[in-house]
Amino acid sequence: MFEFLARVFGRETTASKNVAKERLRLVLVHDRAGVSPQLLETLKNELIKVISNYMDIDEKALEVSLETSEDQVALVASIPVRGMKRIPKELASSI
């Protein structure tokens, strides 16, 4: 009940405050790295395409982000792997 009243009267919960902070942090990282959200989405789709050749992954749970510390930017990907696939025919013929 208190949580409902806090929302009605404009007080933010700790969870919503943390979500807002994380969103702002991501926007700032993207701006500093010069990467648009569309480019990051394209990168994510291409990663899915390549990795799916070798592994069975959970595409919906895949997360790609950029993190920054001082003067460096890192691409961070969390890719849930369900299992490995057999070697693709193209690779098997070259081995």
User: How confident is the model over 48-80, as pLDDT tens digits?
Assistant: 899 988 899 998 898 888 777 777 778 888 999
Q: How far is CA 46 from CA 42, 61, 91, in A?
A: 6, 15, 19
pLDDT (average), residues 76-88: 86
Domain ranges of the chain: 2-84
pLDDT band at 83 (very low <50, low <70, confident <90, very high): very high
Per-residue pLDDT band at 20 (split at 50, 70, 90): confident
Residue 54 carries which DSSP code?
T
